[in-house]
Structure 1
Amino acid sequence: MAGQPKHAARRAELISATRRVAGRSGLGGTNVRAVAAEASMSTGSVLYYFPSFDDLMYATVEGVLEEMYDRRRTIAESEPDPARRLKKLIVAGVPDTISDHLRMAYESIPLLRDQPQYRPLHRSIVERQVSLYRSTIEIGAATGAFRPQTDLTTISRNIVALEDAYDLYPLIGFELDPQVFRGNIMSYVRIVLDCELPED
């Protein structure tokens, strides 16, 4: 029992080291040797704390996706006005720069083909983002701020899909203004919710 906190701390250290390596080298350039060097331990020690390197990678991606969602949820919970909340969620969903965390989330998508255990992680983050938008739209519709032109789940899914597409653009080499992307999503929202969004 006494060793459990130390064991958990070492696992957390290794996850942090993996994130740093992936931030510099991408997921494809992250391997057990690089993580061991980053954490100042042997490769054998890395595999003592995780059954396999795949398990370490999974824990790292899971942590990144959870943090991304927690940030979005905090935004939603901190803004009571539905129109302002919706705009803040869109701004957070299409950031000015792609963070290492967001890059790692998207780089982990190709792993789905060979490692299906990642599928529930990605499905969960999408569904929870859809839920954040849906609850925001429900509140706005109830207060009269939004007048949805179609069902709320479809609207919410479309917003998340647009965010994902625009976030991928810089990763594949399109150097376009994120403000334009956000403006495009907000135009869709104004039409489909028959609403006004606050100016900056």
Structure 2
Amino acid sequence: MAARCQPVKTDIRSFWYRRGMPRVSAQHLADRRLQIVAAAVRCFARAGVHGTTMQDVFAEAGLSPGGVYRYFKSKDDLIVAIAEGVSRQLDALLGEPEPDVQPDVRTGGIGDEVRRIVAAFDSVETDEDHRRVAVAIWNESLHNPGVAGVVADIVERVTCSLASRLAHMQDDGRWRDDVDAHAAAQVIVALLPGYALQRIWFPNLDPQSFISAATTLLSPTESQAPRRRPPG
């Protein structure tokens, strides 16, 4: 009687790798992730966060559901990824605050600091889509603890960086010393949501006029002008 045929066990994955099937590179994975995030930004800007479904993102990215879910399991993951991307960009533009180290500060006073913060925001939120999504994410942070944590971290780091610079200006006698540096930094950072909304509502808003007005309001009057502290 003929011997019963025995099944042959074949590792298909090993077979194809031996045949030279290309592995997915880290750069490809990073590019695909950016492609999906960019598609989500366009969807959120067009329909809002709550008006966008994952199916909308699939279609906008031109990918299958599996092609998106490999990177992002939910819409919340996409929102957090967008917020974290903004955080990394702002860190690069503004720098991390260094504990116990006074950073160098350009001469020119408070106007330079307001200009620096607004310019950093404009460098990150480069068009109306990104500004709309920034506002949508701020709104989402009111209801989503995961998003709230990322947004709060961004605001705190920007505020601390600015507060450190303002305190250094006070020590050098280049800015008024009758106001708490951290509280002043909170006020300046609080201008950004209003600035973003007005850039959306009024496309012709002039950033330089905004900066000039904010600088004038934050600058001391003649009687409040800072006095350079004597050495020692």
Band the TM-score falls in, shorter-chain normalisation = 0.7 to 0.9
Report what 1:118 is aligned to: 147
Show the counterpart of 2:4: none
Alpha carbons 1:17, 1:38 under 8 Å: kept: yes
What letter is aligned with 2:179?
T
1:82-101 counterparts in 2 under 5 A? 83=109, 85-92=112-119, 95=122, 99=127, 100-101=129-130
Matches of 2:121 and 2:55, distance apart in 1: 34
6-15 vs 178-187, which moves further? 6-15
Amino acid at match of 1:110: N
Cα displacement (A) at 1:176: 5.0
TM-score (ref. length: structure 2)? 0.66
CA shift for structure 1 position 50: 1.9
Partner of 2:107: 81
TM (norm. structure 1) is 0.74
TM-aligned CA distance change 1:79 to 1:115, over 3 Å: same
CA drift at 1:46: 1.2
Query: Quick check: 2:163–2:185 contact (8 Å CA) kept in 1?
Result: yes
Aligned to 1:133: 162
1:155-166 correspondence to structure 2 within 5 Å? 155-166=184-195
- Root mean square deviation of aligned Cα: 3.5
Structure 2 match to 1:148: 177
Which residue of structure 2 lines up, in the alignment, with residue 194 of structure 1? Answer: 225
Kindly indicate whether the alpha-carbon contact (under 8 Å) linking 2:93 and 2:120 is maintained by their aligned counterparts in 1: no
After superposition, the C-alpha distances for 1:37-72 in whole angstroms (9 at most, x for unaligned) are 232211232123222232123212321343244334
Alignment of 1:39-118 (within 5 A): 39-73=61-95, 80-81=106-107, 83=109, 85-92=112-119, 95=122, 99=127, 100-118=129-147
The code of the aligned residue for 1:86 comes to: E
Aligned to 1:198: none
Q: 1:117 to 1:50 in 2, by over 3 A?
A: same
Q: Which runs of 5 or more structure 1 residues have no equivalent in the other structure? A: 196-200
Instruction: Give 1:13's aligned residue.
Output: 35
The one-letter code matched in structure 2 to 1:81 is T
Distance 1:158 1:136 in 2: 14
Task: Report the Cα offset of residue 166 of structure 1.
Answer: 3.0
Unpaired runs of 5+ residues, structure 2, are: 1-22, 97-102, 227-232
Give, as a single letter, the amino acid of the residue that structure 1 aligns with 2:40: T
Deviations along 1:76-107, whole A, 9 cap, x unmatched?
x8963362642431542675x97333332211
Deviations 1:103-149 (A, max 9, x none): 32211122124322111111111112212221221222232222322
Partner of 2:100: none
Quickly say closer, same or farther: Cα 1:121–1:179, change in 2 above 3 A: same
Larger Rg over CA atoms: 2
Count of residue pairs brought into register by the alignment? 192
With over 3 angstroms needed to count, the CA separation of the structure-2 counterparts of 1:106 and 1:70, relative to structure 1, is farther
Q: Give the C-alpha shift of residue 154 in structure 1.
A: 0.9
Overall identity of the aligned pairs, in %: 28
